[in-house]
Chains A and B, each alone.
Chain A
Amino acid sequence: MIRVLILFALVRAAAAAELEAVVKNERGEPVAEAVVVAVPDVPAPKPARAKPEQVEQIDQEFVPRVKAVLVGSAVSFPNRDGVRHHVYSFSAAKRFDLPLYVGTPANPVIFDSPGVVTIGCNIHDWMVGYIYVAESPYYATTDAKGIARLSGLPGGAYTVRAWHPQLASPEATTRRRMELAEAGRLEWVLALKPEVRVRRAPTSRGSGRY
């Protein structure tokens, strides 16, 4: 009987929990493309190998615009457009440069430090994307309803935080503590800066006639 109780306790402790994270802006509207990361107090076992990830270039935009990956992930940047792209980043978390190319570069980029990596195209200035490199394997990105579901979390204590490209305050200000058993729910109301992007509308070539 004691053995059964111990086994039950172990199974319960190891049971996967789910966290539903809801992110809204100050007007109460859902915020898409926010990354929610749950960092357990007890370090999570590292996966044998982070799964390969990719950020595509489609119609001269990064797809997805915000991509969360686990630290150590290899990310490839396939170019699905008929024009060449030159993808780069000079963010502190990862500096890289993929000079003019079509198709998929042979070697993916390894994101080996946690943090936010802003990526751009040196040909098309309006192309901006973000790779959020998480130190924990428990992360998700909010959908159009502003909801992110983090599943497979072992029960225990977590520090959970949210990040968005337009976040007005440092990411650390979004930190929450929570004890997760089976399921949990957290909600953030984030102050967001207005988005200012380089305009991509085509311009007239002009006739140049005299």
Chain B
Amino acid sequence: MTLRLHRVAALAAALPLSAHAQWNPHFEAGAVYDSNFSRAQRAQDRIADTALTVDAAAERSLPTTADLRVGADARLAQYVHSDGASYATANVSGAWRGKLGLGPAAPWFSARAAAGVENARETVRDALRYAFTATAGRRFDERFEAAAGFAYDRRVQREELAVVPGFGGKPFSLQGRALFGRASYAVSDKIALLGSATVRNGDVESSSRRNFTIFSASNAIANDPSLGPDFIAYRVSGARTVLLSAGVSWQLARHAALEASAARADTAAGEGLDYVNRIYAVTFVYRP
């Protein structure tokens, strides 16, 4: 596992080197605190943790009349306490963006598809990831822009690790569909306020110690040693997550910004299962 993690990390490190000429690089570094990283309902099962993250991405336009782009990105995330959940990802993506007319106020549409591999320190969290996003937006004036869209996400756990007869052993194989809206308002040249709302329906993974409520609601179960020797990962389908986020972006320079955000995610599933995440993030963004 560690070896594979290092391999993906090496790919992440190599991305900026390949970002030459028409490749346009993008870097991020930050910290994300999650009040309920285990996504547990019971207080005694909730584990708060902070991940330190580094992202590198590069994108280039295709020589077509449409605004088509291909890209690759990689991320390293190291959790302060739950080391087994630390991961590296590498993705490839394709995107299209178009406008209905000329000018900053013309409505725009975009679509993006991505596929990637994710390796965590614990095998149970190793996965392939797929995502598709379709977004429509409009800039109403120089300060205010809003967008809304649809997102599909799919995560496929790479190894079957069944522990309970009759239950699948891939609790980290998840998929969901989401509708989202987001807006930004530039208060000044330097400061912009960001806000978003997302409603996602689909599978969620919740880790906790043995718990009959979630056991009866789940359809896939495996041990989750990344959170503790007695933690079990449960997959629950038909969950709804409502995520509200507010943030501020401070432009440090033409190519750099510092973002801070606070989010609350309320997840509710059948059988009375629900939990809340409070997520705080600080991210430094640099795009040369």
Q: Which residues of A are interface residues toward B (Cβ below 8 A)? A: 59, 82-84, 88, 90, 97, 99-100, 102, 120, 122-123, 125, 196-205, 207-208, 210
Contact = CB atoms under 8 A, between A and B. Distances in A.
Taking chain A's interface residues, is the majority helix, strand, or loop, or is none over half, making it mixed? loop
B65 A202 contact: no
B103 A208 contact: no
Contact of A120 (B28, B103, B194, B251): B103
A59 B255 CA distance: 10
Nearest to B259: A204
B131 interface: yes
B102 interface: yes
Output the residue of A84, A88, A90, A197 with the most chain B CB within 10 A. Answer: A84
A205 B251 contact: no
B131 A208 contact: yes
A210 B176 contact: yes
A84 B30 CA distance: 29
Given A88-B102, A123-B97, A210-B202, 14 more contacts: A84-B67, A88-B103, A97-B102, A100-B61, A100-B66, A100-B67, A122-B99, A199-B189, A201-B257, A203-B259, A204-B28, A205-B57, A205-B73, A210-B176
B287 to A, nearest CB: 4
Interface residues of B, number: 55
Nearest to B253: A201
Nearest to A195: B189
Interface of B: 21-24, 26, 28, 30, 32, 53, 55, 57, 61, 65-67, 73, 75, 97, 99, 102-104, 106, 131, 133, 139, 141-143, 151, 153, 155, 174, 176, 184, 186, 189, 192, 194, 200, 202, 204, 241, 249, 251-252, 254-257, 259, 283, 285-287
Nearest to B143: A196
Contact of B24 (A82, A100, A196): A82
Contacts of B104: 120, 125, 198
Contacts of A205: 26, 28, 55, 57, 73
Contacts, number: 93
A123 B110 CA distance: 12
A201 B283 CA distance: 13
B204 A204 contact: no
A177 to B, nearest CB: 37
Contacts of B61: 83-84, 100
B286 A202 contact: yes
B285 A204 contact: yes
A202 B189 contact: no
Contacts of A125: 104, 139
B239 to A, nearest CB: 9
A99 B26 contact: no
A210 B153 contact: yes
